Amino acid sequence: MKKLDWNLVAQEIVDNIGGFENIVEMFHCATRLRFVMKDDNLANLENLKKITYVKGYNKQDNQHQLIIGAGTVDKIYKGYQNIAGVSAVGSDLNVAGKTKLWNKEISWQSNCLQITKKGLNSFAAIFVPLIPIFIIGGMSLAFKSLFAQFLDVNNGFLQILDIIGGAILGSLPAFVGYTAAKKWGGNPFIGMSMGMILIAPALLNSYSNGAPVMLGFELGTPQSVIDAEVKNAFDQWLSNNNLTNNGLEPKEIVGYYFTIFSGVANNFFEIKLIGYQAQIIPVLLVLILSVNLEKGLRKITPEAIAIIVVPLVTVLFSTWIAFWLIGPLGQIIGKGLAIGITAVYKYTNYYGIGFGGMIFAGVYPLLVITGLHQGFLPIEAQLLMDSKLQYGHSFSFITPVACVSNIAQGTACLIAIFYIKNKQQKSTAASAVFGAHLGITEPAMFGVNLQIKPLLVAAIAGSACGGYWLGMTHTVANSLGSASWIGLVQFDWTNTEALKYFAANDIPATFSSLAPGIHVTIAMLISMGATAGFSFLLLNTKWGKNALVSFNGDELKVQTQQ
């Protein structure tokens, strides 16, 4: 069989969007080739949609998206890199200037909406390339949590999984530093350096440290003074909790970190030597500073000394501001965001009532269509990190919602197979069903469900039904990973940790005696059943029959006329 030339496929796409000179930016996510053009009128959308590997098309603001599918989109983008001469490191092509942040010709509401969309697009460009490492790290910790329920805590295999997950998720600031600097026009390696500085070994590891009591000491404080303070804090903790020392060690309850500049200006410039492992908001805020500082320095620094002055001044100044002001501020924002989102979800779901879960799961497919669901990735990472620091175990309600949504899309596409007449389209739909049940829904959504709109409505309704169960039971995942049947390992299969979490937050969860893993399985089955029922119902209406006629084309029209 002749080897497929992906360069030719990429060239066909480029030819139909006005050539290289019309491309402002091009990059890709797990399933979509995304690009921005100087002049949208030069694009031939009809020809683009007819390209063999293009399963669908979507436009969000000024960004065009070709839905291609996992794996294939990587090959097409590499073909684009080959013909464009773009390096793998600088994996996008920027040839145009910035668009205005505020457009005086439109209303302030439209400006706010446009800025929000740009922000979400920027988030997608930063976090979409990191999806594979999120999955690796999250699934490693998920498997560790699953196997720890019947293996000894000192088992070697568990330690390997913990090392993989802890290393990847603990190093998130370094990865985010690279992609954020690259997206915002800075040197990605300076950005990565800033991220690594925030998780330096000399800092207290906030990801692995779970002590409920923390003390701060000026760097250089004698160890005898530290030990005495730790012992006093430990005794006070026992007293406050009406406990006796039943074999507990002070270090299990009381942790400590060091500070510098504590004696300057009444501690105004005090810096806590605490790391920002697995935290997203602090590193993003730091990168906003460092990238803009780097750009400014490049404009005013003589070329002869720029290679030394620009990176050195950027890193030194950004590091000091990061630990003194931006990092702590980012932590406050991140915790506030996590508390706010969790509170909204908590108070919209009650005993027997899953209103919040139903709305979130019903809206989620629409977010996937626009690509806005990528914005939940950093939010969920923050939720997992914040709950781990607070309760010693990670919790998130976002992954369960994504699970029922993905299963609903796959089920709707599965039902379509029974109505599709064209063998090639039937085969495409079958592969899309498989992908959706493994967590990649774009081929099913854009290739079938959006074209047969009653199926999309059925999937939304089915997802909402599954979400209702998730809401009233307050089902939570313990890590990031795949929102699919494979992702069941991301859920606890005992209810011990969930019950502690519910008790600590006074969460009114229905059927709390069941483990989260059981609840999400039930919710996914509800989503499947409801979607299948709504699909059959809607496809047998006049609207559904017309949608099928339109999708199947002339072949079905002739059959209906006969």
Chain-centroid distance, C-alpha 379: 7
Three-state secondary structure string covering 309-329: HHHHHHHHHHHHHHHHHHHHH
234-239 own/partner pairs: CB under 8 Å, 24+ apart: 237/212, 237/213
Q: What angle do CA 501, 481, 76 make, to 5 degrees?
A: 155
Would you name the residues annotated as active-site residues? Answer: 29
Sign (positive or negative) of CA dihedral 449, 454, 455, 461: positive
Rounded Cα gap, residues 81 and 7, in angstroms: 9
Q: CA torsion angle for 502, 517, 368, 409 (degrees, to 10)?
A: -140
Rounded Cα gap, residues 531 and 406, in angstroms: 11
Please count the residues of the chain: 562
92-95 own/partner pairs: CB under 8 Å, 24+ apart: 92/25, 92/26, 92/27, 92/125, 92/182, 93/20, 93/23, 93/25, 93/26, 94/24, 94/25, 94/185, 95/21, 95/23, 95/24
Rounded Cα gap, residues 93 and 91, in angstroms: 7
